[in-house]
Amino acid sequence: MKINWKVLLATGLIVAVIYWAVGSVLPRSYSGSALNFGVGSGTVTVTNPSTESIPVQLVAKSRSFRVSITIEGVSGPSTRQGSGRDATNLFEFVLPPGVSKFTITRGADVSFVANTETKLEATVLPVSVSESRTTIIVAAVVVLGALFYISRTTDHRWISILRRQETSVPDLKLAAESAAIAHGQGHVFRSPGDNRAKISH
């Protein structure tokens, strides 16, 4: 059996693109005390199950960033701490009881840090809504293009297979009816106006 490497490569591309798209937009969940995880450009939802507020930090070593948060009066830019290679950009705030949401509106490589014994729960969307939509569109275009390439490479054989399947159903039905009539298990139906006399034995 001859292996069509072009078809295999196109199939591998489809699998890789789907894996990339799902991994890019799929929410990530974190749970526990002393949480430390990366934050993307999507919305981060953090649940504080305790009745006390907890101090937390958003830290980035690369560059400054800006935070938009649902806690009133807390949103704003990060503050540079230190100098040289050891410098960091820091944004500190107090996480109230209940559910809070925040988004990094400018910047990258930001981490959420909570040094607390309280068990927090967090859900992170890696990318924003617009970026998620773009990722899905790009993935769909690549997958459809790869499928068309596979179809053209195989001379669109799947179309002829579907046609054979569609025509085989009535053929099988007709063959079954003919066999039943031949064995005396069926009746020949006359059309209206057929006055041919029945032949009796």
Do 108 and 165 fall into the same domain? no
Digit-coded pLDDT (tens) for 42-57: 999 999 999 999 999 9
The answer on pLDDT for 143 being more than 80 is yes
Q: What is the CATH number of the domain that holds 54?
A: 2.60.120
Range of the domain at 32: 27-125
Cβ atoms 19, 159 nearer than 8 A: no
Main-chain dihedrals φ then ψ at residue 162, nearest 5 degrees = -65, -40
Residue 32 covered by a domain? yes
Quote the pLDDT of residue 201: 45
Residue 145 covered by a domain? no
Residue 195 covered by a domain? no
Do 110 and 31 fall into the same domain? yes
Angle, helices 129-153/5-25, rounded to nearest 10 degrees? 170
Pairwise CA distance, residues 52 & 98, whole Å = 10
Q: Which of 32, 50, 22, 37 is nearest to 124 (CA)?
A: 37
The answer on pLDDT for 168 being more than 80 is no
Do 98 and 175 fall into the same domain? no
Domain boundary among 105, 125, 145: 125
Residue 147 covered by a domain? no
Give how many domains the chain has, as a whole number.
2
Do 40 and 121 fall into the same domain? yes
> What's the predicted TM-score (pTM) here?
0.66
Q: For the beta carbon of residue 26, count every other beta carbon within 10 angstroms.
A: 10
Quote the pLDDT of residue 37: 92
Main-chain dihedrals φ then ψ at residue 170, nearest 5 degrees = -65, -30
Helix (H, G, I), strand (E, B), or coil: what is residue 28?
Answer: strand
